């Protein structure tokens, strides 16, 4: 599903003052933890490719906080293909603490000014801070209105990151250095939605915060005096951490006065709601989120597809049948399904990894699909193909892939199997799908549970020989978390927060009124 985007990933790293440095920085020294930050951001690149940035803390530098950010991927922004320029960046931004961000925006401009981290300058060091944010505030519009109704408030950008920055600034007002746990406790009473935050001030205090519902993942690790946190575990394990832990919903890590503390800033909600899409699609397959392996979850989805195939008897696999994954997120499910069915799993679609982001931006989606994927006629021609896709949102990419497999690959039959239930409702917590009208399944479904007849109608519209989705109850089974601990709003229409439910009702009214243009939150929600 190459047509859906996540909104951002965050990372933080801090080397405490210690006579014995962590073995993970022994080569370069504590003042060079920014080198590890760049590597961590590379491992979070799947969560955003529009822009990236980093703020470092160095008390021996004239500017104790200094922020570097650019448009483009991590490799592009940090000039990794130009070693001398990369070394200059690391030299200028060296420090014993750093926080970083990769961005994909659901709205807002794609320019450097909208890239994160956001830095707020002030003459007092504990009011001078930098922050980065992963998620989306469902009650953004209300928060924005509240700010603008205050005397002389002004917003330079129409996005929730700036609103969060202003609310943080407001909590830091006064002449006394505030209790940072209380600061985020106060904000938790105002914010509704997904908000993982990293915060660092000019005193060298750092906070890593996970919202009380726990919609987006966040993990951390400690190696002696070295602390690090990231949206995904792979960013920590790949720089050498061996004991990666989950930051629980409503918890924050506070680094202050050369100590690391885990604090609860918000009472546990009646339910947590981890976004199931993280396991299905967004997260790196090598990551573990909330103690659940992404790879094993996707493999379980493929086994579930095979079980449903046997149960329904939709097709009878034979020597001429092959399973083909849609690269790359469909591969684990495809391999598992093929194993259970006793047929080969083959890479009949090859993804071109050398086409740059800018090169394909100006083309329509059909042309982009043709440039990004190459069908292997040698393994597809004359075959019955079971195409495994992780999910279908708008269907435009899938239509292009089906054309490639049939016309250029020469497949005899194409049977689409989707390792996810139908997407029937928008997301207001950080995924780029905010209207009912853009969702493919809602054009065919009369209720919330899809029928065989509706799936057959979808297959005809896509020009596939058959199409089958996983049932709703399969998701919790495969991730091995209870359904009431998952956010499944996009497949059930049931939202875990009040503002999310309000936004859904607005989206339904807009859809029923014939509105199809513009995102729901552009008339009352977040811009992340």
Q: Which of 261, 263, 255 is nearest to 17 (CA)?
A: 255
The pLDDT tens digits for 3-45 are: 555 569 999 999 999 999 899 987 788 889 999 999 999 999 9
Instruction: Determine which helix (DSSP H) or strand (DSSP E) holds 444, and give its type and residue range.
Output: none
The pLDDT tens digits for 189-243 are: 999 999 999 999 999 999 999 999 999 999 999 999 999 999 999 999 999 999 9
Whether 526 has a pLDDT exceeding 90, the answer reads: no
Whether 354 has a pLDDT exceeding 70, the answer reads: no
The pLDDT tens digits for 307-353 are: 999 988 878 889 999 999 998 889 999 999 999 999 999 999 998 87
- Name the 3-class secondary structure at 121: coil
CB distance 325 to 333 below 8 Å: yes
For residue 415 the two structure tokens come to 């049977």
Distance CA 16, CA 284 (A): 29
In DSSP terms, 351 is beta-bridged to 373
Q: If you compute the radius of gyration of the chain from its CA atoms, what whole number of angstroms results?
A: 24
Strand 97-103 and strand 51-57: the pairing is antiparallel
**Long-range CB contact pairs, 445-450, < 8 A, 24+:** 448/424, 448/492, 448/493, 450/421, 450/422
Q: Which of 45, 487, 505, 503 is nearest to 269 (CA)?
A: 487
Alpha helices, H only, 412-473: 452-462
Q: Residue 205: its pLDDT value, please?
A: 98
Task: Give the dihedral of Cα atoms 331, 337, 342, 343; nearest 10 deg.
Answer: -40
Q: Residue 113: its pLDDT value, please?
A: 84
CB distance 260 to 249 below 8 Å: no
Instruction: Determine which helix (DSSP H) or strand (DSSP E) holds 264, and give its type and residue range.
Output: strand 259-264
Whether 519 has a pLDDT exceeding 60, the answer reads: no
- Name the 3-class secondary structure at 128: coil
Instruction: Determine which helix (DSSP H) or strand (DSSP E) holds 304, and give its type and residue range.
Output: helix 294-312
Q: Residue 513: its pLDDT value, please?
A: 79
Sign of CA dihedral 283, 286, 292, 294: positive
Distance CA 147, CA 273 (A): 28
The pLDDT tens digits for 439-486 are: 999 999 999 999 999 999 999 999 999 999 999 999 999 999 999 999
Q: Which of 240, 268, 137 is nearest to 190 (CA)?
A: 137
Q: How many CB atoms are located within 10 Å of the residue 133 CB?
A: 29
Q: What share of the chain has pLDDT > 70, as a percent?
A: 92
Q: Residue 29: its pLDDT value, please?
A: 85
Say which residue the tokens 């109608």 belong to.
457
Q: Residue 488: its pLDDT value, please?
A: 97
Going from the N-terminus, what domains does the chain have, and what CATH number goes with each? 9-134+197-270 (3.60.20.10), 294-523 (3.40.50.2020)
442: which DSSP letter? G
Distance CA 504, CA 425 (A): 8
The pLDDT tens digits for 400-440 are: 999 999 999 999 999 999 999 999 999 999 988 889 999 99
Residue 327 sits at φ, ψ, to 5 deg, of: -65, 145
Which are the catalytic amino acids? 8
What average pLDDT is seen over the chain? 91
Distance CA 519, CA 439 (A): 12
For residue 522 the two structure tokens come to 């552009």
- Ranges 135-139, 145-149, 348-352, most confident: 135-139
Tell me the C-alpha to C-alpha distance, in Å, between residue 154 and each of 116, 146, 420: 19, 11, 43
How close are the terminal C-alpha atoms of the chain, in Å?
22
Q: Residue 51: its pLDDT value, please?
A: 94
CB distance 327 to 390 below 8 Å: no
- Ranges 101-110, 143-152, 289-298, 429-438, most confident: 289-298
At 53, the pLDDT band (50, 70, 90 cuts) reads: very high
CB distance 489 to 264 below 8 Å: no
């Amino acid at each position: 599903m190459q047509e859906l985007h996540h909104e951002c990933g965050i990372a933080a790293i801090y080397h405490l003052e210690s006579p014995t440095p962590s073995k993970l920085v022994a080569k370069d020294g504590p003042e060079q933890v920014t080198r590890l930050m760049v590597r961590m951001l590379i491992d979070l690149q799947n969560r955003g490719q529009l822009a990236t940035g980093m703020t470092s803390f160095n008390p021996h530098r004239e500017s104790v906080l200094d922020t570097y950010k650019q448009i483009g991927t991590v490799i592009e922004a940090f000039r990794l293909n130009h070693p001398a320029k990369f070394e200059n960046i690391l030299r200028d931004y060296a420090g014993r603490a750093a926080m970083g961000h990769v961005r994909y925006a659901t709205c807002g401009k794609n320019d450097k000014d909208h890239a994160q981290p956001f830095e707020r300058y002030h003459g007092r060091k504990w009011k001078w801070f930098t922050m980065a944010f992963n998620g989306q505030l469902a009650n953004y519009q209300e928060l924005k209105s509240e700010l603008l109704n205050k005397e002389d408030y002004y917003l330079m950008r129409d996005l929730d990151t700036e609103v969060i920055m202003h609310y943080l600034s407001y909590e830091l007002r006064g002449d006394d250095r505030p209790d940072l746990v209380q600061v985020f406790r106060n904000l938790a009473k105002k914010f509704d939605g997904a908000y993982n935050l990293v915060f660092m001030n000019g005193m060298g205090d750092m906070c890593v915060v996970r919202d009380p519902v726990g919609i987006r993942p966040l993990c951390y690790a400690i190696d002696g005096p070295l602390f690090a946190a990231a949206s995904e575990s792979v960013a920590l394990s790949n720089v050498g951490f061996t004991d990666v832990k989950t930051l629980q919903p409503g918890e924050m890590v506070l680094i202050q006065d050369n100590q690391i503390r885990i604090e609860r800033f918000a009472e546990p909600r009646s339910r947590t709601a981890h976004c199931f899409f993280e396991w299905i699609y967004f997260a790196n397959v090598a990551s573990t989120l909330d103690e659940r392996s992404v790879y094993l979850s996707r493999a379980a989805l493929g086994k579930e597809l095979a079980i449903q195939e046997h149960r329904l008897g939709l097709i009878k696999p034979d020597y001429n049948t092959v399973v083909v994954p849609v690269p790359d997120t469909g591969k684990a499910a495809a391999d598992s399904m093929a194993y259970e069915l006793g047929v080969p799993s083959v890479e009949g679609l090859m993804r071109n990894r050398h086409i740059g982001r800018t090169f394909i931006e100006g083309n329509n989606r059909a042309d982009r699909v043709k440039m990004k994927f190459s069908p292997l006629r040698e393994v597809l021609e004359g075959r019955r193909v079971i195409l495994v896709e992780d999910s279908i949102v708008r269907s435009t990419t899938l239509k292009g892939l089906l054309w490639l497999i049939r016309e250029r690959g020469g497949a005899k039959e194409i049977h689409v199997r989707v390792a996810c239930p139908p997407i029937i409702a928008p997301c207001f917590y950080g995924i780029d799908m905010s209207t009912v009208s853009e969702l493919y399944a809602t054009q065919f479904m009369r209720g919330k549970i899809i029928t065989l007849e509706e799936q057959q109608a979808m297959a005809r519209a896509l020009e596939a020989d058959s199409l089958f989705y996983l049932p709703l109850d399969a998701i919790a089974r495969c991730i091995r978390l209870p359904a009431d601990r998952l956010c499944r709003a996009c497949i059930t229409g049931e939202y875990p927060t009040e503002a999310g439910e309000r936004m859904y009702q607005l989206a339904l009214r807009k859809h029923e009124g014939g509105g199809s243009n513009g995102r729901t939150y552009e008339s009352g929600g977040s811009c992340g």
